[in-house]
Amino acid sequence: MSGMTLRLTDLAHGGGCGCKLAPSVLQELLSKQSAAGPFSQLLVGTETGDDAAVWQIDDNQCIIATTDFFMPMVDDPRDFGRIAAANAISDVYAMGGRPVMALAILGMPLGKLPVEAVRAILEGGASVCAEAGIPVAGGHSIDSPEPIYGLAVIGLAKPQNVRRNSGAKPGDALILTKAIGVGIYSAAFKKRALPDDAYEELMTTTTLLNRIGQTLGENSEVHAITDVTGFGILGHALEVARGSGVGIEIEFDKIPFLARTKALAESGFVTGASGRNWMSYGHDVVLPDDFPEWQKALLTDPQTSGGLLVACGADQADDILSQIEGAGYPMARIIGSIASGAPQVRIL
């Protein structure tokens, strides 16, 4: 931003969905909570670590509610706002829903950032909400040591269109709608090693709305959906495996990656969250013999505003993939399949 010399990322100890608590820590915190209790209308709570909560109003309508916020992974305030908003709205799409309204969540270190920078963050978020067709109807702000921005988002869906991360069936195909590598790109950006063309690629993928999720929720052949964010492709695939009581097989060579991801990972541009992710769930992952560490880092790489992971009937997978590609997701790929057996992920 013109006139702004302080880097936003210098004000934060982490950035994007790499700020998430490690999966094992989150699981421990939530292990003794039972969200549903006597509330039969709460269709989705904390049971399987799904993307949003779902409350059934009546036979024809459900409310989807979610919140997501984090610290900056880029320095341009408007870009930060755009990424954070797209990431938050994604949770509604991942449930098969249609977003209808957002509330802003803002924490800023007063005296460290100029007012125009904070305004640009809010404007960036509002621009993505406008693209999604929803208003930012209010929000809340605080003075905080590090810059924080995100949204609480409300959506709607018919009960039969709600898609959880726990509906995958043996024999299903597994589709990923966006390329992996956002965390690695952000690590390189933090160290001023990300080329301009790669930054543009980063912005293109992180601000691409996952609106295809609403369409997928209307397809009975789509059995499970989740979005891939801070726990990496392995962590979110494991959530599907555990919630559905199935095994997952992923073909490494079929995973789409951002153009410079592999070269940057080999050069050591890996986030701290990647290692925390592996420590949390590596015991439930089977890797090929002599699998390189840098390739493992690709699989644990925390994504911000990542793609949707979709389990669908194998007979319809090619048609569903074509539909996704035609809707504006050129990096979408069939990357694996659902198998019977213990809840784990096997990389082939």
Q: How far apart are CA 163 and CA 99, in angstroms?
A: 15
Active site residues: 17
- Calculate the CA 317 to chain-centre distance: 22
Burial of 30 (0-12, 13-18, 19+ CB in 10 A): middle
| Contacting residues for 2 by C-beta, under 8 A, at least 6 apart | none
28: alpha, beta or left, given left = phi > 0 and alpha = psi -120 to 50? alpha
CA–CA separation, 159 and 237 (whole Å): 24
Asked if 185 and 243 touch (Cβ cutoff 8 Å), the reply is: no
d(CA 249, CA 345): 6
String of DSSP letters for 40-85: TTEEESSTT--SSEEEEEETTEEEEEEEEEE--SSS-HHHHHHHHH
